[in-house]
């Protein structure tokens, strides 16, 4: 009787504090430990971010401080072994939004999505970004140390610098033609010093070049 009462109290307390998550599949034991981590990450605004899975689906939940829950990513269990590349992977936490990488093929470009970290709404989507760290670990998503992101315009004749929190956008002419399979990968490094953003890149013949951008130059502002 005492054992049953103890079990009941443990289960009840877990339900009350919301500690129970779906994170197991008994029909495919290989899936357990070979897909997403169900650890919870607490964000700077006290929202929570956590993956869950069962035998039917895999999904990522954003839970804001008011307890509202939003499923911001979901896919079928047949892809369980590819969740790191295909599912949302947190790259950077900004003041009001989260930048995720997703949809990465084995050796190709990824997609990037900004999500409002309070409402769970999609803000913007981008193709492969320039000089973004795609190997940032879940536990430390702020290794990308810039408050902007950099990418090509649709015609690749401009470099776009987009300040995520303020929305400020710079459009910088880019005269080179890069013909690599993923031209963004030809940019090797990005530095910022005294408001001068320097991009280091290689041409198709592997000649090394740099592009310096004065972020205070009003000519580039929209």
pLDDT means per 10 residues in the chain (222 residues)?
A: 41 43 92 92 96 96 97 95 92 95 90 97 96 58 83 96 95 94 93 96 94 95 78
Predicted local distance difference test score (pLDDT) of residue 106: 83
Predicted local distance difference test score (pLDDT) of residue 135: 46
Q: Please give the Cα distance from 90 to 143 (Å, whole number).
A: 11
Predicted local distance difference test score (pLDDT) of residue 140: 57
Predicted local distance difference test score (pLDDT) of residue 133: 61
Predicted local distance difference test score (pLDDT) of residue 141: 53
Q: Please give the Cα distance from 200 to 180 (Å, whole number).
A: 16
Q: Which residues contact 145 (CB under 8 A, 6 or more apart)?
A: none
Predicted local distance difference test score (pLDDT) of residue 1: 46
Collapse the DSSP code of 146 into the 3-class scheme (helix H, G, I; strand E, B; otherwise coil) and give the result: coil
pTM to 2 decimal places: 0.86
Q: Which long-range contacts (CB under 8 A, 24 or more apart) does 160-167 make?
A: 161/197, 161/213, 161/215, 161/220, 164/94, 164/97, 164/99, 164/114, 165/94, 165/95, 165/96, 165/97
Q: Please give the Cα distance from 177 to 49 (Å, whole number).
A: 40
Predicted local distance difference test score (pLDDT) of residue 15: 37
Q: How many CA atoms lie within 13 A of 72 on its CB side?
A: 32
């Amino acid at each position: 009787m005492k054992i049953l009462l103890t079990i009941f109290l443990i289960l009840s307390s877990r339900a009350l504090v919301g500690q129970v998550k779906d994170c197991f599949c008994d029909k495919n034991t290989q899936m357990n430990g070979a897909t997403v981590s169900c650890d919870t990450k607490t964000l700077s605004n006290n929202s929570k971010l956590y993956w869950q899975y069962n035998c039917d689906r895999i999904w990522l939940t954003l839970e804001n401080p008011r307890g509202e829950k939003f499923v911001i990513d979901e896919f079928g269990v047949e892809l369980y072994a590819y969740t790191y590349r295909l599912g949302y992977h947190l790259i950077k936490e900004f003041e009001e939004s989260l930048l995720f990488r997703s949809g990465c093929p084995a050796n190709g470009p990824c997609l990037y999505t900004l999500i409002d970290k309070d409402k769970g709404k999609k803000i913007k989507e981008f193709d492969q970004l320039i000089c973004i760290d795609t190997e940032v670990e879940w536990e430390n998503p702020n290794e990308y140390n810039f408050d902007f992101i950099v990418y090509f315009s649709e015609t690749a004749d401009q470099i776009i610098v987009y300040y995520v929190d303020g929305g400020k956008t710079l459009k910088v002419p880019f005269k080179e033609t890069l013909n690599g399979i993923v031209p963004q990968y030809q940019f090797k490094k990005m530095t910022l010093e005294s408001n001068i953003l320097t991009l280091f890149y290689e041409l198709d013949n592997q000649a090394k070049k740099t592009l310096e951008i004065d972020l205070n130059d009003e000519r580039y502002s929209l």
